[in-house]
Amino acid sequence: MIKISTLLLTLALTALPSAFVYADSSTLAATPPMGWNSWNHFKRKTDDAIVRAQAEAMVTSGMRDAGYVYINIDDAWEGERDSSGEIHTNSKFPDMKALADFVHSKGLKLGLYSSPGIKTCAGFAGSYGHEFQDAKTYASWGIDYLKYDLCGLRVQMKAAGSDVVAEEMMKHAYTKMRDGLLASGRPILYSLCQYGHNQVWQWGASVGGNAWRTTGDINDNFKSMVSIGFHQAGLSKYAGPGHWNDPDMLEIGNGGMTTSEYQIHMSLWAILAAPLLAGNDLTTMTQATKDILLNKEVIAIDQDKLGKQGDRVYAEGSVEVWSRDLADGSKAVGLFNLADTKSHMVLDFEKLGLTTQAKGRDLWLHKDIGAIAPGYNATLPPHSVLLLKISQ
Ligand code: GLA
Whole-number average pLDDT of the chain:
93
Region 244-255: mean pLDDT is 98
Evaluate if residue 22 carries a pLDDT over 80: no
Sign of the CA dihedral running 285, 248, 121, 22: positive
Cα 238 from Cα 338, distance rounded (Å): 26
CA 249, CA 275: separation in Å to the nearest integer?
7
Among protein residues, the one whose CA lies closest to atom 6 of ligand 1: 75
The Cβ of residue 371 has, within 10 Å, a number of other Cβ atoms equal to 10
Contact between 181 and 135 under an 8 Å Cβ cutoff? The reply is yes
For the chain, give the percent of residues with pLDDT over 90. Answer: 87
pLDDT in tens, 132-183: 999 999 999 999 999 999 998 888 888 888 877 888 999 999 999 999 999 9
Q: State yes or no: pLDDT of 191 exceeds 80.
A: yes
Least confident of 33-42, 163-172, 224-233, 239-248: 163-172
Q: Residue 200 in contact with residue 165, Cβ under 8 Å?
A: no
Task: Specify the ligand 1 atom closest to the Cα of 74.
Answer: 10
Q: State the pLDDT confidence band at 26, using cuts at 50, 70 and 90.
A: low
Q: Supply the residues annotated as catalytic.
A: 149, 217
Q: Ligand 1 center to residue 93 CA distance, Å?
A: 19
The predicted-structure confidence for 141-154, as pLDDT tens digits, reads as follows: 999 999 999 998 88
Q: What percent of the chain has pLDDT over 70?
A: 93
Provide the pairing of β-strand 358-362 with 319-325. unpaired
Closest CA to 223 of 247, 257, 200: 257
Nearest to 71 by CA among 100, 93, 49: 100
**pLDDT greater than 80 at residue 278:** yes
Q: Is the CB of residue 274 less than 8 Å from the CB of residue 343?
A: no
Residues 115, 150: contact at Cβ < 8 Å?
yes
pLDDT at 356: 80
DSSP letters spanning 128-191: TT-HHHHHHHHHHHT--EEEEETHHHHHHHHHTT-S---HHHHHHHHHHHHHHHHHHTS--EEE
* Residue at 141: amino acid letter: W
Q: Is 93 exposed, middle or buried (0-12, 13-18, 19+ CB in 10 A)?
A: buried
What's the order of all strands across the beta sheet hosting 109-114? 244-246, 211-213, 189-193, 145-149, 109-114, 70-72, 34-37, 276-278
Ligand 1, atom 3: closest residue by C-alpha: 217
Least confident stretch, 16-25, 32-41, 322-331, 363-372: 16-25
Centre of ligand 1 to C-alpha 153, Å, is 13
What three-state secondary structure class fits 50? helix
Q: Which of 38, 43, 121 to mutate to test the pocket of ligand 1 (most atoms within 8 A of CB)?
A: 121
Within 8 A by CB and 6+ apart from 255, the residues are 220
pLDDT, tens digit, 9 for 90 and up, residues 286-321 = 999 999 999 999 999 999 999 999 999 999 999 999
Q: Yes or no: say if 326 and 332 are a contact pair by the CB < 8 Å rule.
A: yes
Judged against a pLDDT cut of 50, whether residue 5 lies above it is answered with no
CB distance 68 to 279 below 8 Å: no
